[in-house]
């Protein structure tokens, strides 16, 4: 993964101190991500234009997740631009290959340069009937091929209003991570009521929820949970990014609408890159 000399040295120091101090708990210096989820948007020409305009930054890990048919051209545009941008997919099938019309396998994603894959987005849960056990199968498939799953979890407005947020998140986490040893994944907390609505969660609420998510991850992975990045997603944009970037447990953002314009996505990258140097 691309990282600046500063964050490389910080990670090294943390690892050395961690070994020297043995069991003492040290706040992990987690990787910061700014990730674009384009959903079902953009033509080939618009994709080319986006990568020409994007500036990016080495101080955060920038991932762009275009629709499946734009993955390979996007891979070529990124290579051509020489910019520090990684490629991710929006979905993957759980099987290696076979009679699954319209689906995309993990080796196909790998073949076209993907390093990341979004799994369990609420739109797939809602429109494609994906449940936690299917999410779990897809996470295993991604990990087995060395791709980093970006696992989306989040409560609906109804669940929030009936105070079920924690229960829903815990059950989604235990379901998605069932029988998984590796902690090489990213969690994206995306409250369904905040996605595409302009009603973003306040940074304080997101921080509080991320703290809870980390406590559940600790039940599953112990202290390794400190190194798992937890991103916020849901109407994040250039104006509210700074507030999120100040929170200790918000390790970046997963961005839908505001990632479609290179300029606004760049603005968010800059905010988090600055935060990473604090
Ligand atoms: C998303 O769908 O992952 C998302 C965060 O969308 P938006 O930023 O448009 O709310």
Q: Is the pLDDT confidence value at 8 over 70? A: no
Mean pLDDT along residues 7-33: 48
Buried b or exposed e, range 27-54, using 16+ CB within 10 angstroms: ebebbbbbbbbbbeebeeeebbebbeeb
Closest CA to 152 of 221, 70, 65: 65
The reported pLDDT for the residue numbered 27 is 38
Q: How many Cβ atoms sit within 10 Å of the Cβ of residue 266?
A: 18
The rounded Å distance from CA 122 to ligand 1 centre is 10
**Residue 10: pLDDT band with limits 50, 70, 90:** very low
**Distance (Å, rounded) from C-alpha 252 to C-alpha 57?**
14
What global pTM score does this model have? 0.90
> What ligand 1 atom has the least distance to the C-alpha of 190?
5
Q: Is the pLDDT confidence value at 102 over 80? A: yes
**Residue 28: pLDDT band with limits 50, 70, 90:** low
The rounded Å distance from CA 255 to ligand 1 centre is 5
Q: What is the pLDDT of residues 135-164, one digit of tens each?
A: 999 999 999 999 999 999 999 999 999 999
Q: What is the pLDDT of residues 225-259, one digit of tens each?
A: 999 999 999 999 999 999 999 999 999 999 999 99
User: Is residue 177 within 8 Å of 171, Cβ to Cβ?
Assistant: no
**Distance (Å, rounded) from C-alpha 194 to C-alpha 72?**
31
Mean pLDDT along residues 61-74: 98
| DSSP bridge pairs for 65 | 37
User: Is residue 73 within 8 Å of 47, Cβ to Cβ?
Assistant: yes
**Distance (Å, rounded) from C-alpha 247 to C-alpha 131?**
30
Closest CA to 190 of 226, 221, 227, 160: 160
Smallest CA separation from ligand 1 atom 8, residue = 256
The rounded Å distance from CA 201 to ligand 1 centre is 12
Task: Give the length of the chain.
Answer: 278
Smallest CA separation from ligand 1 atom 7, residue = 256
The angle subtended at Cα 198 by Cα 196 and Cα 203, nearest 5°, is 110
């Amino acid at each position: 993964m691309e990282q600046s000399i500063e964050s490389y040295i910080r990670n090294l120091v943390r690892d050395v101190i961690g070994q020297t101090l043995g069991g003492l708990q040290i706040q992990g210096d987690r990787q910061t991500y700014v990730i674009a989820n384009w959903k079902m948007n953009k033509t080939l020409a618009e994709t080319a234009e986006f990568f020409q305009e994007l500036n990016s930054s080495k101080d955060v890990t920038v991932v762009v997740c275009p629709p499946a048919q734009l993955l390979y051209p996007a891979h070529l545009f990124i290579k051509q631009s020489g910019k520090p941008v990684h490629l991710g997919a929006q979905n993957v099938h759980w099987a290696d290959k076979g009679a699954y019309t319209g689906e995309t396998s993990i080796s196909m994603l790998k073949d076209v340069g993907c390093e990341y894959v979004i799994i369990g987005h609420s739109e797939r849960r809602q429109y494609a009937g994906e449940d936690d056990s299917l999410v779990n199968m897809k996470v295993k498939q991604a990990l087995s091929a060395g791709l980093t799953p970006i696992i989306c979890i989040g409560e609906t407005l109804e669940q929030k209003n009936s105070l079920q947020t924690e229960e829903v998140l815990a059950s989604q986490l235990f379901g998605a991570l069932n029988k998984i040893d590796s902690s090489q994944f990213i969690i994206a907390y995306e409250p369904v009521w905040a996605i595409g609505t302009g009603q973003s969660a306040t940074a304080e609420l997101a921080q509080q929820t991320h703290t809870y998510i980390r406590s559940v991850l600790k039940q599953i992975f112990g202290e390794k949970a400190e190194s798992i990045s937890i991103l916020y997603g849901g109407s994040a944009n250039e104006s509210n990014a700074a507030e999120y970037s100040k929170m200790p447990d918000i390790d970046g953002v997963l961005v839908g609408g505001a990632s479609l314009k290179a300029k606004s996505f760049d603005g968010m990258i800059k905010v988090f890159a600055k935060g990473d140097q604090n």
